[in-house]
Each structure stands twice: as C-alpha cells, then as structure tokens.
Chain A
Amino acid sequence: MEQDKYLCPYCLITFESIQDLRRHIVAEHKTEPLPVSEGQIKLTINGEDYQIRVEPEWTLYYLLHDKLGFTGTKMFCDRGACGSCTVIMDGRPILSCMTLAIECDGKHIETIEGIAKKEHPLIEEYVKYHCMQCGYCTPGFIVTAKALLDRNPKPTEEEVKEALAGNLCRCGTYPQHLKAVLVASQKLAKHGR
C-alpha cells in the first residue's frame, strides 16, 4: 500500500506529494520543511548499507524477514514477550517485532546471518552443546548472547542467565545455553574476535 496523501500537521491540508507539502510549509508556516517521514530509510545490516522505502506500519521484523530475506530472525509472539525476533541495534539487543522499520533510519543492525558469517564462536558452541531442538528460538538466543558478549566479554553464569531471561524456548533447551555461552566467552578471550 502506498502512502497516498501527505498531511500538513499545522493546518491538516493534504498534498499529493512530499515536495508540495514542503513548499506549502515553507510558504505558509514560515518554517523549515518538516522531516515528514517519506518512508525512505537508510540502514546498515550486517555491515552492508541498504536504502529502502518502507511503510509506516512495517515492523523491523517484517522488513528483515519478509522483505529483505533475513529469515533467520524468527517470531513466536509478535508482542514483545518471547525474544525470538531479537536483533542487535546500535549495540542493544532489541525486539524487531516491536520496532517500526521507519524508525531505523541510520541505524546499525546485526542479525543472526551477520553473526554466523563472522564465524562467531557462539555458533560452534551452540551446535556442540545441543542448544537447539526445533531450532526456532535459537537465532534469538544467539543474537541476545552476542549482544551480551560484545558488552561483557566475561560474563558470570548469573549474568548470562539474566541476559537470556527474555528469550523463551518452548523446547526447554535453557540449561544448554548457559554452557555454550560461557565456553564461547572463554574462546573469545583466548583467540580475540
């Protein structure tokens, strides 16, 4: 669906194009053109730049998973309650189902695909410790764990637990994650990243 009308927030007149709206605002309201989101955003995903037009109601999950093919990002709940859709945005593990794509202009995003491409030790340890059954939650856990290790390369078991506490695993693989993350952090310490 296209955005069909551009609305002036000062007087609620609508315009056909963003340029018309700009001109109107400068002329009538004596102010700089408004930064009305045109829906064009630029963002960096796994170190690569993207420029794409998004609709206001698209979530970041939708953009990544459905539009850009980063299908490693999963979704259980679509309401912020499970962590399966986690991506790293500017260093923070965030929920892509509760983030508007249009608000990601200029952001740096890291998905599971990026983490795997870097051959982050978490991947290997997750496989080794059988941290997956159905595997649907696994990317969300690894992304969350990666954000933790970026910030805190030597977490204690308690800290790992706390960091992963927002990720649900219906298959109940929880205890296996703790081992994998701790071993991965030791590997990072030994070999650098």
Chain B
Amino acid sequence: MAEDFKEMPNNPLEHDKYAPKEFKVLGRRGITRIDGYKKAAGKAIYTRDIQLPGMLYAKFLTSPYPNARISKMDTSKAENLPGVRAVLRYDDPEVFGRRVVTTYGGCEDMLAGYAYFEGQQIGAVVAADTEQIAREALKLIDVEWDVRPFVLDPEGALRSGAPLARPEWADNNLNEVPPSPLSEVFRIGNVEAAFEQADKVIEFKAVRRYHGGADTELPCGIVRWEGDCLELWLHHQHPYEHKWTMHKYLGVPMNKIKVNAPYNGGMYGGWNWIAYSQIATGITAILAKRTARPVKWVFDRREDFVFGSADAMVTYFKVGANKDGTISSVKLKSFYENTGFWAETHLLENTRIPNIEAENVTARVNKGPTIALRCEQLPGCFVMAHVFNHVAAELDMDPTEVALKNDGAEGKDINYLNKFKRKHGFPLRDSLRECIEAGKKAIGWDKKWHPAGAKELPNGKMHGMGFIWSHEWDDNRGAGVAGVFIQQDGSANIVAFRTDIGVNAETTYCQVVAEELGMKFEDVFFRQQDDVYLPLMTPDGSCNLTTNSYVLRKAARKAKRRLLELATTEVHLIERNIAPAFPGMQPEDLEVKGSEIFVKSDPSKRKKIAEVVKDMDGSMNWGLEYAAIQCTTHAPVFAWAYHRQGRYGTEPGRHRLCRQAHFCEIEVDTETGKIEIKKIVNVNDVGKALSPEAVEGQQYGGTYMGIGRNLNEEYVWDPCSGVLLNGNLLEYKWATMLDIGEIETIIVETGMGYGPYGTVGIGEDVATITTYLLESAVFNAIGKWIDDGPITPDKVLKALGKA
C-alpha cells in the first residue's frame, strides 16, 4: 500500500479538501481536558516546583544603572560566604568576550560586563545551596561602575547628540537588526496623489507606552550533567530549540541532550520566548559543570520585569478618506523602542486601502528588549485601530460601516477576495459582515451607538460604544513530527514532544487522533512533556493547532491504515499461522468507529481494536491472558508523519480570509476619569472551533489581558535615573476579575481558514487587538481622543480639561 499520504493540501493557499463530512469528537463540547484535574488539584508540576537532590540555586547580578560598564569587580567576599559553591564572572574564560547568536535574531553577550538597561542580568552569577544564600552573596559583590548617560525615548535616541544606548556594540541608536524592519519606506500606490483627491485628510499622533511583565510562573530552569549527557528542565516555550542552542553554546551533541518540559505558568511569548533566557540556561550549564551539581537558575518578580511587548511606539499618521467611508491613503511614520515590527501589516492584509506608505524606525533605548509578547502584531493593530477610529469620527460615520466599506486585502476589495476564495476552494462567506452582524446584535449596537460625546446617562456618566476589527491570526505555518502508537490493550498514545502553555492542546490533539482513527476520545492520550525526540510545533504564534493537527491527522490516518492491515493480514509464527481478525477482507472493506473495527457491508461483524492489536499468542505461547511483556507476535501499530505547512505563512498571494470584531460598552466618569467597562462582545471567526471551550477561554482570557493593557499596564521608569519604579504586581497592574462587567463570546465558523478542517488560530489575536479596543469607546463617550495607551484616569481628565 502506498506510504505516501496525499490527503493533505499540497498547496498552502488551498482550503482543506479532506475534512470529514461529520465530526464525532472534534468540535464537541464537554470533552474533559487532559490537564484539567492535574491543574485544579495542584498536581500539575512546573519547573519552579522541581528540586533535584543536591541542587544548587543560581542567581544573576543585576545592574542598578540603565547604561553602565563594570570597571572593577571583586567577588571574593561572595565566594567566601558559606554555602556559595561557585561564582561565574563575566571575565571568566568560559564566557569572556563570547557573543552568541540567538535564535531570535542578533547576538547577545553570554554574560556581559556592561548593562544597557536597569535590572539587566549581567556581570556575575552565583550558585549556592539556597536562593537566600545566593541572594546574600550577590550583595557581597563589590562593583565599581562606569555609569554612562542613558536615553529612554525612541525619538530622543535618534536625535544627534543623544547618548549611545549600546556603546559596546553599536555606534548609533538605529536598530535594523532582524526582526526589526529596515527603515526604508514601504510603499504601495501613491499616497501623495491620493491625499490630493481625498475628501478629507487628517493628521494625528498616537502613542503606546512600554508594557510587558507577563508571566505567572517566574523564569527559571534546571540543568544537570550526567557524564557527557545534558538534562534540562525548562520553563520555556521552545524546549526543542534548546537542544540546538545548548549544542551551539556547549558543544554537546544534540543526541545527548534530554529536555523535560513541565507545565508552564503563563507563557505569552516574551521572555520565555527569546534567546535571552536560553542564555541563562547555558550559563547555568557552565555552573553545573563547575560544581558537578544540578543547578537551577531563578528570577524573582522584580527580575522578571526585563522585557516588553513590541508595540512600545509612537506613530505619526496622515490619512485620506472619501465621504462614502472608503479610505484612500495612509501615510505612517513609527518610532519603536528596541524592536520594531511592520506597522502597516494589518492595513495591508485586511483592507482595500490602495495607497499606503510606511516608515518603521527602530531606536535602541536603555530599556529591556521588546519582543513578540502576545504578540508581534500589536503594532499592526495599533495602527489599524487608530486609522479606522479617526476616519469614522471625521466622517461622522458608524465605524462598523467604515470597516465593511474597506474590507479587502492588499489594496483590493472584497470582490477580489471572493474570487480568491472560489478559486482556492474556500466557502464563499463574508466573514466580517457575519462577525459585525452577530456582535452588533449581542451588544445592541443599533440602539446604543451614538455620535461622540452625545449621551450622558442619568448617573452623570458619559456613555460610550467601542468597536475594533481585524483579520484572524491565520498564521498557518511551521512544521512538526509526531507518531501514533497503539498499545496492546488498544489504547493509543501520541508520540511527540512539545510544551504546554495552557491552550488545551493536549486534549485537542487527542481529539484529532480519535476522530481520524475512529477511536473513542478516552482511548487516546498525550503527555506532551516527555522528551520522545519528535518535535511537534511548539506553542508559537497562533499556529500550533493549525499545523500540528495536519501532522497528527496524517499520522492517525497512517496508523489507521496499519491497523486495518493488521486486521486483515495473517500472522506467520514459526510453526503455525494465525488467521487475521477479519479473514478474507481487505483493509478497504473495514471501517473504525468508537474504537471498534467493523465490516462496512455488514456492521454487525465487529471487533474491538483491543482484540485486534493484542498479542495473538498469549505472551510467547505461555498461554497467558495478558499481553506480551518481552516481545510480541506482530509489529505494533505505529505510524509517524511529518508535515510542513507552507513557507512560514509568507507565500505570496496568501490572503487572510477570516475576520474578528469586538464591541464594548463603557461609562466614563468625567469627574474622576474612571472608565467602567460594562460589557464586551468578542466575535471571532475561527473557521472551525475544534475545542469550543478552549476558543472561549482564549476569548475571555485575551480580553482580560488586552483590557488590562488598555487601562493600566505600563512600565514606569524614573526619568532621572532610568530605574524601573513599578516592577511588582501591585504597581504593574494586570486586570482583575472586577475590571470587566460582562463578556459575551461568539464563535463564527465560516471554515475559511488554511488549517485542517478550515480552522485558524486564536491564541494571540484577542489579547492583541483588545489592547486597542477602548480608544474608540472613550472617544464615543467624551468626544476627545486619548491616543496614548494605557488610557489612565489622568489622561481622561486632561482630555476633558480637568487636569
């Protein structure tokens, strides 16, 4: 039988042609999540919980200054403190002058002798018997600092005469190291000509302040040497990648590295995503070697505040629009802090705006790195939200109308997109219209929306309605490997390695395999943390389900074929032959459902999978009832598959077809500046919801994260010293349960995703887009723009002329 499974799209631009007509397991509610009990009962183990015998704790020295070099460092007192087992210094031979390539782009010092932001982990690392001793030892390190001037704002950093933010490795403050875009101007069409023609041209500026501080479990990792083998326990989003980086840093062959990926507390990109924390593990490996002990590196909460989201930015806008609501041209100039992304992406991928010009300038400043932190598309959402908000207001139009007028892709309108859908086999649905209609109904938009500043409530507060939209994160890309193994009792395992970040993936993957193999959900199990060497896509972007489900589907279908072959093939033992479970049949004659194999033409002839796969000879002919322990009469049912989906989602002409729309109703207290969120409606066209509860979880969760950022989250640095002032969870304010009155979630399933079964990812998008939901609502309430996130009460009062 042919090995090759063609039941996958060969063309990454095409709709999944091979989805079943009806679903038994996928898309069902009420399926018990695999991690549920463990997490609820406190049984789920996280890296932070793990202690190994003889384990030491490693802590890093942090810089008290935002821009400084160590001119002298005396570690002798620290080394002499009882309980200290090793001190690694930046000038030790293992690390001195060593710059390592990171998997994220650019280079970092393995252990720098200088700092470019306050709180940076540099200079020295102590390994000691307890965390407390390590902390005390750090205080005993005498450092003479060469303190240098610093710069915090990106525009200031690019003015002439500004202090150099990275004097060690850059002689200017312009950052064009990937993933930051080059500062060359992006153009489609001709914006200037379009401004001439436009009915209205508006100009404004918007700001988003640096935020981040995401994780729940504090950063940490454990390293143990077992001879020349390296074993790691990682609180990290990319565990498999560590094999590569550790191989590079330490010269250990990848086949001698074992990675354990326990559950992760939080994980939204950010710190645990970037190479920076891989370096911490590399450093710890050096300490573990020196001390011949397992070593765990740990950060405390303050030390976790070292990175931010990639939308720390300022953008200058010029927008041309016509009276009918069509936007004709947009010109942008954005300044980013430390890492830039392409601000025009959402305008490009979502709209028919034919003329766009964008300049993305990234400045190095003396703050921690900014990074994809749920997620790199924040700048795109930031820009798109502001453009649409201002156009609708300027034209006195309902913003949902303006959205529909401009829906499209790459400068072309919805008719073009519809042609594309038809050509590539997608259902012909109008995603944005469906989302907007459902959302408007749920929030009562037609009754409640009003011109800006027009509705004062009886309680004296101003009433506002907000709206935001964009495409879904159809980032269907990447590659993975996985196997499906059927045990002799008929239960199946997924054989693959990845890490958990809480999106219910363990369960959903089992659903895919159960569905495709015809098994009951309960009969399939996945413990994704085991290092079985086959890396599935690890949580990355919003594409693990969309890519990994292809992988698993392929593996499951292969396994099913094997299973049916086994059911129809005679087994030859030395002295006798054993007849197949279904004699005289071909695999094509059989079907599998509910963990039973039956004859298609006579379903009454059926056998449980367990009966078919069990050892046929009763354990080496001993006549025992249990399955073979030492060996088996036949090859186990095992199949593995690899699938690569496209070219990282960057195939030319690949348009995003599913849309999302979010609505909110707020009240603004004009006497205090307080914004009260009464209701939020999330509408997401996820193509196909494979686990509806998990989708809702992402809608709720993303909304809380987004709204928390929109209302409160920002890092505050002391302008005079460059020291972070609010590096704790009291003053860096995550959303609480009381911050949103009510959330209503709506799932739209148009089937227009590139993923298997027509699905798209949802892990990042709600949090990303709702970070900019309130701008429009606040404008609708008070008639003033506050284009400066987070929208705190002081800004509201200022806009109202009361502060």
Contacts and interface: CB of A to CB of B under 8 A. Distances in A.
Partners in one complex: yes
Interface string A68-106: 001111111111111010000000000000000000000
B704 A172 contact: yes
Interface string A115-130: 1100000110011101
Contacts of B301: 76-79
Contact of A72 (B35, B43, B694): B43
A21 interface: no
Interface stretch (B187-195, B733-741, B772-780): B733-741
A167 interface: yes
- For this complex, into which size category does the number of interface residues on chain A fall? 35 or more
A170 B216 contact: yes
A179 to B, nearest CB: 11
Given A72-B42, A123-B40, A131-B40, A170 B35 contact: no
A116 B40 CA distance: 8
Interface in B263-305: 263-268, 300-301
A66 interface: yes
B41 A116 contact: yes
23 contacts: A1-B132, A71-B42, A72-B42, A75-B218, A79-B729, A80-B730, A81-B730, A112-B42, A123-B37, A130-B694, A133-B504, A135-B502, A138-B40, A139-B41, A139-B42, A142-B40, A168-B736, A169-B704, A170-B268, A172-B702, A172-B767, A174-B737, A175-B743
A135 B700 contact: no
B214 interface: yes
Contact of B42 (A77, A116, A134, A161): A116
Nearest to A67: B51
Contact of A135 (B263, B693, B696, B704): B263
Interface residues of B, number: 59
Interface in B518-570: none
A65 B49 contact: yes
Interface in A112-165: 112-113, 115-116, 122-123, 126-128, 130-139, 142, 161, 164-165
Give the top 3 A-B pairs by smallest Cβ distance, nearest first. Answer: A72-B42, A135-B39, A172-B704
Interface in B706-759: 728-730, 734-738, 740, 743
Contact of A133 (B218, B697, B728): B697
Nearest to A111: B42
B225 interface: no
Given A161-B738, A168-B736, A176-B700, A132 B215 contact: no
Contact of B263 (A112, A134, A171): A134
Main secondary structure of the interface of A (DSSP, over half): loop
Interface in A33-63: 57
Nearest to A163: B737
B739 to A, nearest CB: 9
Interface in B20-49: 30, 32-33, 35-46, 48-49
A178 B34 CA distance: 22
Contact of A170 (B218, B728, B734): B734
A119 to B, nearest CB: 10
Given A76-B301, A77-B729, A139-B42, A130 B36 contact: yes
A136 B705 CA distance: 16
Given A171-B701, A173-B697, A132 B737 contact: no
B695 to A, nearest CB: 10
Nearest to A133: B502
A175 B741 CA distance: 10
A173 B740 CA distance: 12
Given A79-B730, A134-B266, A167-B737, 15 more contacts: A72-B41, A74-B48, A74-B216, A81-B728, A115-B41, A116-B40, A130-B693, A133-B501, A133-B701, A135-B35, A161-B738, A165-B738, A168-B734, A170-B216, A172-B700
Interface of A: 1, 57, 65-66, 70-82, 84, 111-113, 115-116, 122-123, 126-128, 130-139, 142, 161, 164-165, 167-177
Contacts of A74: 46, 48, 216-217, 265
B418 to A, nearest CB: 35
Contacts of B503: 133
Nearest to A84: B216
A56 to B, nearest CB: 12
A167 to B, nearest CB: 7
A117 to B, nearest CB: 9
A173 B728 contact: no
Contacts of A164: 737
Nearest to A164: B737
A82 B266 CA distance: 14
Contacts of A174: 700, 704, 737, 740
Contacts of B696: 130
B40 A127 contact: yes
A168 B39 contact: no
Contacts of B767: 172
A77 B298 CA distance: 14
Contacts of A170: 214-216, 266, 268, 705, 734
A174 B39 CA distance: 16
Given A79-B729, A135-B263, A165-B736, A172 B35 contact: no
Nearest to A139: B42
Contacts of A177: 737
Contacts of B30: 128
A132 B36 contact: yes
Contact of A112 (B41, B133, B214, B703): B41
B264 A134 contact: yes
Contacts of B37: 123, 127
Given A79-B301, A126-B40, A132 B35 contact: yes
B35 to A, nearest CB: 6
A173 B266 CA distance: 12
A40 to B, nearest CB: 20
Interface in B90-149: 132-133
A126 B36 contact: yes
A187 B572 CA distance: 57
Nearest to A166: B736
Nearest to B136: A1
A176 to B, nearest CB: 7
A106 B521 CA distance: 47
Nearest to A82: B729
Contacts of A161: 737-738
A39 to B, nearest CB: 16
A168 B729 contact: yes
Contact of A137 (B45, B216, B730, B735): B216
